Each structure stands twice: as C-alpha cells, then as structure tokens.
Structure 1
Amino acid sequence: MIRPATPFAVLTSCLCLSAFIVPVSVQAQSKSKITLIIDGFTNKNGQACVSVFASNKGFPSNGNDAIQKRCVNITEIPVVMTFDNLQPGSYAVAVLHDANRDNMANRNGLGIPTEGFGFSQNPAILTGPPKFNDAAVVVAGDNTNINIKLKYLLRN
C-alpha cells in the first residue's frame, strides 16, 4: 500500500533538490573585461602589441602563454584597447611598442630593449622585467580600467 507523502517529507525532498540546483546557478559568473589606456609613446610608428597573462607562466615575454594577445596600429595616443570574456581573477598585462612591425621585442648588443614597453601596475624596472605579482591586477565586475605608461630605455 502506498501512503501519501507527509508535508514534512515533501519539504525535505524540496530542500534536498535545492541543494543540487543552487550551486549550479551560483557558479554562473558574468565575464569581465579589461580596458587598457596605453600612453607614453614617443611616436605613432608601428603597432602596440599587448599580451594578457592569467599566471606567471610565460610572463612577460612568451606571448604564446598569454590567454589573449593582439596588436593594433598606433593611430591615436593614448592607445585604448579592450579585452573581453575574462573570468574574474588576477591578470598581468605586457605591452610592446613594436615600432618596426617585426613582432619582436628588439634589443641592442647588450640586451637592452630598443623599443618601448610597459606593464600593468607600471612597476619600477631596475635590472629586468617585473614578476607576475608585481604587475598583477585584480579583475572583477563588468570592466576594469588599467593605465599603462610606456618606458623607453634607449632613445633613437
């Protein structure tokens, strides 16, 4: 003989089901974007190349490890670029003023960069590139603005 469910049994079943439904809806987070404002270019020659990293792997020089990367012609200064579809979290950005459009960070015979470069958080550059944590920015919400000022170690 099948007994009708008691109100307590129905409530318990609903609560158990909601334990499985609620976490799924909590996990659906909205995507974020970064808007970069890149300034300090010495001229409008070439392109601005940007790599966005989600970890220290490859940062800052191995663009193949970047989660997003893109180059744009320099038509206006400052250069404004947007990177969409990012999960909330920490990111570091590396920028190169590729003045001769060879898609490389050119250096002189001593290894000193001959083109402009910059990083999120604008860390001091003393003896080499910054670590990921020195350039990391927390990205949360709909949009995070990041201002990057390029540095030139050698003037042409």
Structure 2
Amino acid sequence: MAMSLTMILAMAAQAAVVDPQTADLTVAVSNVRNAKGVIHACLTRNPKHFPDCRGDPLAVRSTVAANAGTLRFKAIPAGAYAITLFHDENRNQRLDMMMGIPREGFGFSGNPRIRFGAPKFRQVTIRVPAGESGQTIRMQYLL
C-alpha cells in the first residue's frame, strides 16, 4: 500500500517536533558569610570544563545577590550536571586566592568535603530530572 505524500510529510513533521524533557532546578545557598557582593553559579555537563566552566559553550551561568538565598536554572535539559558556586564579596568576577587558598567562599553540588583543590567532576555530579527539583549547596570558607 503506497502512502500519500501528505501522510509522509505529516509523519516527518511529527518526528521533527521532538520536545526534549526540560528541568527547572532551584539551588538553595546556605552558610553565606555575609551579604556583600554576589554569588556566581556555573552548571555544566562536561567534566573537561569543571570546575569553572571556562570555555564551555553549553554551560549555564547565574549570578544573584549574596543575600538572595536561592538561584534558579530554568528550562535546562534533564540529565547529569555539576554545579560550582563562589561568593564574590568584592564583585571582581573571580575567586580571590591567597597562596593558593580561596579567600572567598565556594561550594559544589553534593557538598563534598574539600581537602586540597577542587573535587573531581564525578564526586559532585547530580541527576536533574525533568520537571522541578532542588539542591542545597553549603558555602565553605577557608580564610
């Protein structure tokens, strides 16, 4: 049985309209030392661009006031991600360091214990399901 051209075009149009499952992720930020400055957040799926998302064209970034308490990533594809936060108290757009030790607060998804350096991507990977979900990240200050 031969299909009509109209049927073939209709089936092709349906196949082309694939609605990927999206997610809205709310991140609660706890243990912020003070209300100075802003919290910068970076969400990435690529271990090569973790922890700072530098050079990742697909990374999602967000900046909120330090006293905001939460930040949101809306309409992101569901999947595995790592989140990095830092408290930019002086608003200079970078994590200030002193002798290799962060002078400003930082945090990662999963709240790993920090010893020396940033954790590995696999240690902080979280699953973000379709729909709404949440994550709490505790800021850490070493100095």
Assess same fold via TM > 0.5.
yes
Deviation, structure 1 residue 58: 1.6
Aligned to 1:80: 70
Query: 1 or 2, which has the higher strand percentage?
Result: 2
- 2:106 aligned to 103, 117, 129, which one? 117
Deviation, structure 1 residue 39: 0.6
Asked if 1:137 corresponds to 2:137, the answer is no
2:62–2:71 Cα contact (<8 Å) kept: no
Aligned to 2:137: 148
RMSD of aligned alpha carbons: 2.3
Q: Secondary structure at the match of 1:57?
A: helix
- 1:103 aligned to 93, 96, 99, which one? 93
Asked if 1:60 corresponds to 2:23, the answer is no
2:82–2:121 Cα contact (<8 Å) kept: yes
Larger radius of gyration: 1
> TM-score, with normalisation over the residues of structure 2?
0.84
Structure 2 unpaired stretches of 5+: none
Q: Secondary structure at the match of 1:134?
A: helix
Residues 73 and 63 of structure 1: CA distance in aligned 2, closer, same or farther (over 3 Å): farther
Aligned to 1:6: none
Structure 1 unpaired stretches of 5+: 1-8
Output the CA distance in 1 between the equivalents of 2:55 and 2:142.
Answer: 25
Deviation, structure 1 residue 131: 1.1
Output the CA distance in 2 between the equivalents of 1:114 and 1:93.
Answer: 20
Aligned to 2:33: 42
Aligned length: 138
> TM-score, with normalisation over the residues of structure 1?
0.78
Q: Deviations over 1:49-70 (max 9, x none)?
A: 0011111122112444261112
Residues 54 and 28 of structure 1: CA distance in aligned 2, closer, same or farther (over 3 Å): same
Query: 1 or 2, which has the higher helix percentage?
Result: 1
Deviation, structure 1 residue 136: 0.8
1:63–1:69 Cα contact (<8 Å) kept: no
1:39–1:149 Cα contact (<8 Å) kept: yes
